[in-house]
A and B are shown apart, each in its own frame.
Chain A
Amino acid sequence: MSASWTWVVLALLGAYHGLNPAMGWLFALALGLQEKRRLAVIAALLPIALGHAAAIATTILALSIVQRLLPFHVLKCPVAAIILALGIFRLFRASHPRGAGMRVSGRDLGIWSFLMASAHGAGLMLIPVLWSHPMVTMHHVMSEPMTSGPMETGGAPLTAGIVLVSVLVHTAAMLGVAGILALAFFELYEKVGLKVLRHTWFNFDLLWAVALMIAAVGVLFAG
Chain B
Amino acid sequence: MLFKADPTFYPSPKLAAQAPAEKLAYVAALNANGGAHPDALAVVSVDAHSNYYGSIVGEVNMPNAGDELHHFGWNACSSALCPYAPHPHVERRYLIVPGLRSSRIHVLDTKPDPEKPRIVKVIEPQAVHERTGYSRPHTVHCGPDGIYLSALGSPSGDGPGGIFALDHDNFEPLGRWEVERGPQQFGYDFAWHLGYDIAVTSEWGTPNMVENGVNPDLLLAGKYGHNLHFWDLRKRRHLQSLDLGSEQQMVLELRPAHDPTKGHGFVGVVTSLKDLSSSIWLWHKTSGSSNGHFEITKVIEIPAEGADPAQLPPLLQGFKAVPPLLTDINLSVDDRFLYASCWGTGEMRQYDVSDPFHPKLVGSVHIGGIVRRTPHPARPNRPLNGGPQMVELSRDGKRVFFTNSLYAAWDKQFYPDGIRGWMVKLDVAADGGIQFDPELFVEFGDLRPHQVRLQGGDASSDFYCYP
Contacts and interface: CB of A to CB of B under 8 A. Distances in A.
Interface of A: 21-22, 26-27, 29-31, 33-34, 36, 93-94, 96-104, 112, 193-195, 197-203, 205-206
A29 B82 CA distance: 11
A33 B234 contact: no
A98 B145 CA distance: 8
B83 A26 contact: yes
Contacts of B84: 27, 96-97, 100-102, 104, 112
Interface residues of B, number: 37
Contacts of B2: 203
A198 B11 contact: yes
A203 B89 contact: yes
A193 B2 CA distance: 23
Interface stretch (B189-197, B304-312, B387-395): B189-197
Given A22-B86, A34-B467, A198-B10, 12 more contacts: A21-B83, A34-B261, A93-B169, A100-B84, A101-B84, A101-B233, A102-B84, A193-B15, A194-B11, A194-B12, A199-B4, A206-B1
A200 to B, nearest CB: 8
Nearest to B198: A103
A199 B11 CA distance: 11
A19 to B, nearest CB: 13
B288 to A, nearest CB: 15
A44 to B, nearest CB: 10
Interface string B1-17: 11111010111101100
Contacts of A99: 234-235
A203 B85 contact: no
Contact of A27 (B10, B83, B234): B83
B137 interface: no
23 contacts: A26-B83, A27-B83, A27-B84, A30-B83, A93-B169, A96-B84, A98-B145, A99-B234, A100-B234, A101-B194, A101-B234, A102-B194, A102-B195, A195-B15, A197-B81, A198-B11, A198-B15, A199-B4, A201-B4, A201-B88, A202-B3, A203-B89, A206-B89
Nearest to B169: A93
Scoring B1, B83, B194 by chain A CB atoms within 10 A of each residue's CB, the highest score goes to B83
B353 interface: no
A101 B236 CA distance: 12
A206 B7 CA distance: 18
A34 B260 CA distance: 7
A193 B89 contact: no
A94 B90 CA distance: 9
A207 to B, nearest CB: 9
A94 B7 contact: no
A33 B4 CA distance: 23
B37 interface: no
